[in-house]
Amino acid sequence: MLKAFGVEQDNRTNVKAEFDKYTTSVPAVFSAGDMRRGQSLVVWAIREGRGVARECDRFLMGETDLP
**9 vs 12: CA distance, rounded Å:** 8
The number of CA neighbours under 13 Å toward the Cβ of 64 is 14
Q: How confident is the model at residue 17 (pLDDT cuts 50, 70, 90)?
A: very high
φ, ψ dihedrals at 6, nearest 5°: 80, 25
What predicted TM-score, i.e. pTM, was given to this entire model? 0.79
SS3 assignment, position 15? strand
pLDDT at 40: 78
pLDDT tens-digit series, residues 28-65: 999 999 999 888 788 888 999 999 999 999 999 999 99
φ, ψ dihedrals at 15, nearest 5°: -70, 130
Closest CA to 17 of 47, 48, 40: 48
